[in-house]
């Protein structure tokens, strides 16, 4: 197929396709699907080999967000029966993080629902990061606290954060359809603040909210223009009790085409399969590894993922290997750019998703919460809980709520985490 030959050639050179070519990927047929995956796989292997970066989420506080993001189980007015708790103590968060690192996670993603952090919240997260780094100085830490105010990104960077996650989620044109308590421009501003402070920018999208192909292409090109080092691709998890509970628009094939389009537009960027992969890709998850080079291990913010050992077995059985703590995630040329932007030392350092602490290439799933001193919790974009499903609109009567499992273990409970 001429289209795939063109996309592969551009991707191997690190070049982006045109908008028309990106749209054409989404319009391919199921008969062409394996060819699309194979083409995207060549680009993925060119820049990332057969490595899979593992990330682990810790939900620092959950529920009762003052924001009205329609996709989120923690939103204002949500009736989803999720865990609700206020801030974890630093030692509690460190214990949760330790489980993920022991399972092979290279990066820990600290998420708190809400509009955005107060100065006291920054202090809390600073103490939590110190507790985690005391146990494992090499672990990468990505923070997701919502909209940032002036100088907050700099404080997080000085305290040892490597990256900041804040997703754009959807196109600027349709953003008002999923949230009204903040704007698309607010989100862009936070990503720019994080990048400007020398943090690795982690920003992605949520597919399956009723958007068009044009919306998907718009947001993916916007993420490229923002210089996101890591692009989490979330598939909406339609939680009962949220406005998008009946939005079951995705098939496994559609999810793979979306991942391929994201890879072609961002050939040398970390692409992560984030929230919803178990719900929507299901038995086709291993094919996603041929396109994306990063996943979350275990559970998400408010939903359960598959068993951590199952994730590890899937990676091994598919012929991939877990990326080690000493390996740089981003290609050398991307690490050089990240190092220069953050003032870090050499490209071999942790900048650009390398092993240490200068801003790594990944990020957290759908992180992007908001806050304003809400009593308990707020919103989180980070990785977790967005949601589509594996069915097309034609079969939307089959809501398959059995596929959506609320997290009832790990952070905020007495039960062992899934890692």
Tokens of 63: 């529920």
Let me know how long the chain is. 419
Q: Is 344 a catalytic residue?
A: no
Catalytic site residue from 51, 72, 107, 263: 72
Which ranges constitute the DSSP H helices of 88-118? 90-102
Q: Is 255 a catalytic residue?
A: no
Q: Is 409 a catalytic residue?
A: no
Catalytic site residue from 44, 51, 202, 254: 202
User: Quick check: 404 and 82 in contact, CB under 8 A?
Assistant: no
Cα separation, 37 vs 34, whole angstroms:
5
Distances in Å between the Cα of 59 and the Cα atoms of 96, 157, 161, 167, 268 are 9, 20, 16, 16, 29
Instruction: Work out the widest C-alpha separation in the chain, in whole angstroms.
Output: 56
Radius of gyration from C-alpha coordinates of the chain: 19
Tokens of 91: 């030692």
* SS3 state at 39: helix
Catalytic site residue from 69, 144, 351, 358: 69
Tokens of 172: 């600027």
Catalytic site residue from 98, 124, 263, 272: 272
What is the phi/psi pair of residue 345, to 5°? -65, -125
User: Dihedral, CA atoms, 177, 247, 390, 80, nearest 10 degrees?
Assistant: 100
Catalytic site residue from 44, 98, 109, 344: 109
Cα separation, 77 vs 83, whole angstroms:
15
Q: Is 351 a catalytic residue?
A: no
Q: Is 69 a catalytic residue?
A: yes
Sign of CA dihedral 224, 158, 61, 309: positive
Catalytic site residue from 65, 344, 358, 367: 65
Tokens of 75: 């939103």
User: HSE of 230 in the Cβ direction (CA atoms, 13 Å)?
Assistant: 42
User: Quick check: 49 and 332 in contact, CB under 8 A?
Assistant: no
Catalytic site residue from 142, 255, 344, 367: 142
C-alpha angle 279-36-167 in degrees, rounded to nearest 5: 50
User: HSE of 180 in the Cβ direction (CA atoms, 13 Å)?
Assistant: 2
C-alpha angle 321-323-328 in degrees, rounded to nearest 5: 140
Catalytic residue annotation = 65, 69, 72, 109, 142, 202, 272
């Amino acid at each position: 197929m001429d289209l795939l030959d063109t996309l592969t050639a551009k991707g191997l050179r690190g070049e982006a396709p045109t908008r028309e070519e990106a749209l054409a990927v989404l319009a391919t047929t199921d008969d062409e699907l394996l060819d699309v995956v194979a083409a995207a796989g060549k680009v993925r292997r060119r820049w990332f080999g057969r490595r899979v970066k593992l990330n682990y989420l810790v939900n620092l506080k959950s529920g009762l967000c003052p924001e009205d993001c329609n996709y989120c189980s923690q939103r204002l007015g949500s009736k989803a029966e999720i865990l609700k708790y206020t801030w974890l103590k630093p030692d509690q968060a460190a214990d949760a993080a330790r489980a993920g690192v022991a399972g092979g996670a290279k990066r820990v993603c600290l998420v708190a629902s809400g509009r955005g952090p107060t100065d006291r919240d920054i202090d809390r997260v600073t103490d939590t990061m110190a507790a985690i780094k005391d146990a494992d100085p090499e672990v990468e830490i990505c923070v997701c606290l919502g909209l940032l105010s002036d100088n907050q990104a700099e404080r997080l960077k000085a305290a040892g954060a490597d990256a900041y996650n804040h997703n754009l989620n959807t196109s600027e044109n349709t953003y008002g359809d999923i949230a009204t308590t903040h704007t698309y421009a607010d989100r862009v501003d936070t990503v720019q603040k994080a990048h400007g402070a020398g943090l690795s920018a982690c920003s992605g999208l949520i597919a399956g909210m009723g958007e068009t192909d044009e919306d998907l292409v718009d947001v993916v090109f916007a993420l490229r223009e923002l210089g996101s080092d890591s692009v989490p691709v979330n598939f909406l998890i339609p939680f009962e009790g949220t406005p998008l509970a009946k939005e079951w628009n995705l098939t496994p094939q559609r999810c793979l085409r979306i991942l391929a389009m994201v890879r072609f537009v961002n050939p040398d960027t970390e692409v992560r399969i984030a929230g919803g992969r178990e719900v929507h890709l299901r038995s086709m998850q291993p094919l996603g590894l041929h396109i994306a080079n990063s996943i979350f291990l275990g559970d998400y913010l408010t939903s359960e993922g598959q068993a951590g050992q199952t994730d590890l077995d899937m990676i091994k059985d598919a012929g991939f290997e877990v990326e080690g703590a000493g390996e740089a995630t981003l290609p050398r040329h991307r690490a050089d750019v990240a190092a220069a932007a953050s003032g870090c030392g050499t490209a071999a350092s942790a900048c650009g998703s390398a092993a240490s602490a200068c801003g790594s290439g990944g990020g957290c799933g759908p992180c992007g919460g908001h806050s304003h001193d809400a009593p308990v919790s707020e919103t989180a974009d980070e990785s977790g809980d967005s949601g589509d499903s594996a069915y097309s609109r034609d079969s939307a009567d089959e809501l398959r709520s059995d596929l959506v499992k609320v997290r009832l273990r790990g952070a905020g409970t007495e039960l062992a985490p899934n890692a």
